[in-house]
Amino acid sequence: KVRSDRKIVDWEEFKMANPKIFVFAPDTPKRSGDTYAKLEEAGFQLAVGDQEWRKPGVDATQSMREFAQGSDAFMGTSTRANPITRELMEISPNLRIVAKYSIGVDDIDVEAATELGILVVHGPTEANWGGVAEGTIGMILALLKKTRERDEYIKTGKWRDASVQGIYLGQRQDGHEGVTIGIVGLGRIGRRVCDLLAPWRVRLLAYDPYINKADFNIHDAKESDFETLLKESDVVSMHVLHTKESHHMINNETLALMKPSAVLINTARGSVIDEKALTEALQNDVISAAALDVFEDEPISDDSPLRDLGHKVLLSPHAVQHNVEPGIRAGLGWARDGVIKALAGEVPDHIYNPEVLPRWRERFEGDYLLPEPVDRYCLF
């Protein structure tokens, strides 16, 4: 269907209509400025938010409400400090899409979006996924090879000691079996971790009920159920999205299944781990150590007990993906293209909530705010 009051039939009418895009969490000007400028040149009205809104402790509720007025689309990167709530989405009755530059949507009320008939699209993978995988390997090596302990030991005037003896990862011809590494979530990052570990000849277990069976073989990982993986792994590395199913999947009960010598790595989402349970497990030697790049509340509080666990924890400020150059440039392009398609009354790619499609099609399919064909806007 086409609503006659919103249909744009030529370029001049389109420029007068000026569909509005609210950029709720902009990326750095270096990566995003050109894209935003081209969208404005093409006739879109952009309301670009402040990067400060992304910082913990900054309340941008009122500013975001003002920017959201009359918007046809939202787009942006992560905005956990000021999430996309039902209230924010309800401000504009013509809102048809919320597009993320990143893969995670835990900062969007997806259930509310679905009820309101709004599409949520995301990057099919982080553009900087390789950096997350490399950082994971760095954390594994730091814990197993006791890099920090050795550094501290020699700086305090000591030399060799059994307390700073590392663990040999891989299999050897002398019969050493090597360690078992369990990958929870065999998506793009989990698969890359497996590939990076291949030359080490470790034993790889993987748990992921949502992927093709062939992916386990392709990446030389043995398919495992979650409990078996926890029981048999020397390293458990988390690579899952935060969903209802994954929330606190590491808890008192699951930690108790792990080896006392095991280490836990989390570069996924903070809420997949019950931090209170993990702290107690580390304090009581239920497991040996943990490396955390993400936390349930960020930044972690000054009085967090995780800060007082010494070398039992390796902490990182949600920065394992921050590397020179990669960024989320590709994710920005995917979000932009998704917005353009949705404003053209077309179903975009990378939809996170496909269950909304019947209602969305009824409301918006064929109802375009752009001059046809949409291809002319996908070239930049």
Distance of CA 139 to the CA centre of its chain: 18
State yes or no: is 172 an active-site residue. no
Cα atoms found within 13 Å of the Cα of residue 156, Cβ hemisphere only: 8
**Where is 236: in which H helix or E strand?**
strand 235-238
State yes or no: is 269 an active-site residue. yes
Sign of CA dihedral 365, 366, 371, 373: positive
* Cα separations in angstroms, 177 against 198, 200, 272, 290, 341: 14, 11, 30, 23, 53
* Cα separations in angstroms, 86 against 109, 111, 117, 134: 6, 9, 12, 36
Distance of CA 111 to the CA centre of its chain: 18
* Cα separations in angstroms, 141 against 207, 257, 339: 22, 23, 41
* Amino acid residing at 255: L
Please spell the DSSP secondary structure of 71-136, one letter per residue: -SEEEES--TTS-B-HHHHHT-TT--EEEESSS--TTB-HHHHHHTT-EEE--SS-TTHHHHHHHH
* Cα separations in angstroms, 191 against 7, 9, 69, 229: 45, 47, 42, 16
Q: Which of 13, 298, 355, 372 is catalytic?
A: 298
User: Tokens for 291?
Assistant: 């490396």
Q: Which of 269, 275, 336, 350 is catalytic?
A: 269
* Amino acid residing at 317: P
* Cα separations in angstroms, 338 against 43, 73, 124, 239, 315: 17, 10, 12, 25, 36
φ, ψ dihedrals at 180, nearest 5°: -110, 125
Q: Which of 219, 242, 318, 350 is catalytic?
A: 318
| Residues 109 and 83: beta-carbon distance below 8 Å | yes
State yes or no: is 115 an active-site residue. no
The residues annotated with a catalytic role in the active site are 269, 298, 318
